[in-house]
Amino acid sequence: MQFAALAERAERVAATDGDIETTLGLADLLADAGPAAGAEGDGSTDGLPVVTRFLLGRVFPAHDTRTLDVGPALCREAIARAAGPNVSAADVEDRLAERGEIGTVAAEYDLGGQRGLAAFGEGRDALSVAAVDERLRGLAAESGDGSESRKRDALFGLFTRCSSSEAAFLARLVLGEMRLGVGEGTVRDAVAEAFLSTDQESDGDDASDDDNSDGPALRASDEAAAAVERALQVTNDYGRVAVRARDEGTEGLRAESLRVGRPVQAMLAQAGTATDAVDSFGAVAVETKFDGARVQVHYAPADPGSDGGDAAESDGDGLGPRLYSRNMDDVTEALPEIVEYVSERVDVPAIVDGEVVAVDDDGDPLPFQEVLRRFRRKHDVERMRETVSLRLHAFDCLHADGDDLLDEPLRVRHERLREVLPDATADLTLADDPEAIAAAERAALDAGHEGVMLKSPESTYTPGDRGRDWLKRKPDVETLDAVVVGAEWGEGRRAELFGTFLLAVRDEGAERPNDRGTDGGPTGDDGDLASAGYATVGKVATGITDEALADLTERLATHVVDESGTTVAFDPELVVEVGYEEIQTSPTYSAGYALRFPRFVGVREDKGVDDADSLTRVRRLAGDG
C-alpha cells in the first residue's frame, strides 16, 4: 500500500462519526492493505502488519523493546529542514504553540517542495508503507556517536518526500500520537470485521449486532472478536494478529500461543474488601502483597535439551533468563542477581510472574522506593547491587515446560509454579471467611509487607485485564448501626415484602419526643418520611437474603406509622448494622451525608434505638468530625 493512501484514508477514518462507522472504515482500510486483497500493494510486500501497527502509532509491536527514540525537538528540526532555508526549528516550535499539534504543523509546510534537494533515484518515487517502515526501523537501529544527527537526516529525507497528509501522519507516527480517535479496541474489532465477518467465515457464527437495524452494523461475531483479543493477549502484536486473521481465520488465531522471550501484559487487580472476596469467590486464595516492582521472568534453557521437536520456537530457543517490567521493558541487565537466581534454579522453559522487592541484611522487605534505585539502572549496576539487595517473590506461572497455562485455574498454575521455582514461590492459602483473611493480613503487615491480595482460585490469567478476579484488599470501613425509619414495598415477586429500608442515625441536636409512640414526625429535607430526632443517611437494599427480608417485614409491619404510595414510615424500633464503601456529604438525606453502596450486615438484636450510632459519629466517619 502507498503511504499516501494510508495517510489519506486514515484522515477520513478520523473524521468519521460513530463507533461502528469508524470500525467499518478501518476494516476497509485493513482489507486493502496487503497483497492478499489484490488491491494495490507494492509487489511482494505485505503492507497489512505495518499498516495495522502504524494506525496505533507503533513501528514495533508492543512486546518489542526497540524504540524509535525520536523526541519532539528532533522531529521539529527535521520538519524545519525539510521546510526549506527560511524555516528554523524555532519557527516550527512557535507554530506548534499556536496549532497545538505536530501533525497539523507538518501538514502546513510545503515539505515535498524540497524534494529536489534530497531526492535522487528512489527519492522521486512515491513512498510505500513498507519503505517508510524500513526507514524508521533503520533509524531505530542508530546508536552511538552521531546517531542523533543521522536520525535527523533520515527523518528529513522522509519528510522531503511527503505530501501534506503524509507529513502529518509521519510526524504523528514518530512521536506516537496518532490522534485518529482509534483505540486498540477499535483496531481489534476492525481486524475481526475485515477478515472474520460472517461472509468470510464458513462456520456461520451469528453476527454480534442486530441485522434488522437500519444503521450500519458489524458482521463479525463476538466469538471472532474474542479470538482476535486472545491472539493479541498472547502475542502483543497487532500486525501479526491481523495477518493471521486474514490468512488463517479464527482457527489460526486460536493457534497463537505464548512464546518465551516475548512478554505479555501483566494481569492487574482492583481494590476490594475481604467481604467482597468471600462473597464472590467463596474460598479465597490469599497471598502476601509484596511492595516492589512487577517482573515477568522468561527462561529458556541454554540447551533446549530432550524436549526437542517443535518446542524450540515457542520455548525461546536457548534464550536464558530475560526479565521484563510491567510495561514490558527489558530490565534483565539491571537485575543480575535475579538472573543468576533464575539460571541456577529453573531448568525448563518457563514464564513466571512476580514481584522484585528490596531487602535489608536480614532479608526483611524495604520500601518500594529502594527497588526503583535498581530497576531500570543502566550504569553502576554492580555498585548498586552492593547497596540494595533484591529478592524475587513469584506468584504466578504462565508457561511451564511447553505448556501454556493462561487458561488453567490459579490453583493449578500455582502448583506448576512450585515445580518451576519452589524457593521463590509465594505462599498461597485458602480462606473462606473475612476473619481468616484479616489474620493473614496482620501476619503480612507484621512481616513488613504491604498487605494481601485476594484472588479467585478458579480464575484464569487474563493479560492486561484489571478484572474482579484479583482484588487488592482495601481495609473494610467501620460499619454503622442505624435505625430503620422507613421502607419501600418491593416489586414483582417481592411485592408482599419491604424491599428498600430507609436508615437514620440519632440526631442529638434535634428535639426527640418520647422514643415510643411518636406520630411518625416530620419529614427530612429529603422528603422521605422520617422520625423526629433522627437524621436519615441512606437506603439499603443489598445484602439482604430472602429469609432476612421476610423476617424484617414481619417485625416492622406492626410499626408502620404512616404510608404514602409504596413508601412507609416506621416508629423507630429496629437497629441494623450496615456496611458501606464511604460516607459522602449529600443534600439527599436530612443528615447531610449519604452512605455510598450501603450493604445490610444484620439486625443488632442487642441494641435499642438509644444505642444506635449518632450524627456525630457519621460526621467523624466522613472525616468532618
Binding site for ligand AMP (CB under 6 A): 266, 268-269, 287-290, 294, 355, 395, 426, 453, 472
* β pairing state of 350-359 and 320-324: unpaired
Smallest distance from the beta carbon of 11 to ligand AMP, in angstroms? 38
CB-nearer residue toward ligand AMP: 290 or 593: 290
Instruction: Locate 525 and state its grid cell.
Output: 429535607
Smallest distance from the beta carbon of 140 to ligand AMP, in angstroms? 29
CB-nearer residue toward ligand AMP: 288 or 456: 288
CB-nearer residue toward ligand AMP: 459 or 590: 459
Distance CA 308, CA 538 (A): 65
Distance CA 580, CA 271 (A): 14
Residue 563 neighbours by CB under 8 Å, 6+ apart = 569
CB-nearer residue toward ligand AMP: 393 or 512: 393
CB-nearer residue toward ligand AMP: 59 or 397: 397
* β pairing state of 480-489 and 498-506: antiparallel
Instruction: Locate 256 and state its grid cell.
Output: 497463537
Smallest distance from the beta carbon of 620 to ligand AMP, in angstroms? 27
Contact 535, 524 (CB under 8 A): yes
Active-site residue among 289, 455, 474, 607? 289
Instruction: Locate 575 and state its grid cell.
Output: 437497629
C-alpha distances in Å from residue 39, one per residue of 5, 28, 165, 239, 249: 12, 11, 21, 18, 20
Q: How many whole angstroms from its chain centre is CA 610? A: 47
Smallest distance from the beta carbon of 440 to ligand AMP, in angstroms? 12
CB-nearer residue toward ligand AMP: 92 or 426: 426
DSSP code string of 473-525:
EPPPPPPEEEEEEEEEE--GGGTTSEEEEEEEEE-TTS----SSS-----B-T
Smallest distance from the beta carbon of 233 to ligand AMP, in angstroms? 17
Output the residue with the shortest Cβ distance to ligand AMP: 294
Q: Which residues pair with 284 in a beta bridge?
A: 431
CA neighbor of 456 nearest in space, from 401, 402, 502, 410 = 410
- Considering Cα of 87, then 88, then 90, then 96, what sign does the dihedral take? positive
CB-nearer residue toward ligand AMP: 356 or 485: 356
Contact 309, 401 (CB under 8 A): no
The H helix count followed by the E strand count for the chain is: 22, 19
Active site residue 472: no
Smallest distance from the beta carbon of 597 to ligand AMP, in angstroms? 20
* β pairing state of 466-473 and 268-272: parallel
Q: How far apart are the first and last CA of the chain?
A: 67
Smallest distance from the beta carbon of 281 to ligand AMP, in angstroms? 15
| Residue with cell string 449486532 | 209
Instruction: Locate 501 and state its grid cell.
Output: 429500608
CB-nearer residue toward ligand AMP: 229 or 355: 355
Smallest distance from the beta carbon of 268 to ligand AMP, in angstroms? 6
Burial of residue 198, with CB atoms counted within 10 A of its CB: 0-12 exposed, 13-18 middle, 19 or more buried: middle
Smallest distance from the beta carbon of 428 to ligand AMP, in angstroms? 8
CB-nearer residue toward ligand AMP: 453 or 568: 453
Distance CA 593, CA 586 (A): 5
Q: Which residues pair with 614 in a beta bridge?
A: 506
- Considering Cα of 405, then 409, then 412, then 416, what sign does the dihedral take? positive
Residues annotated catalytic, as ranges: 289
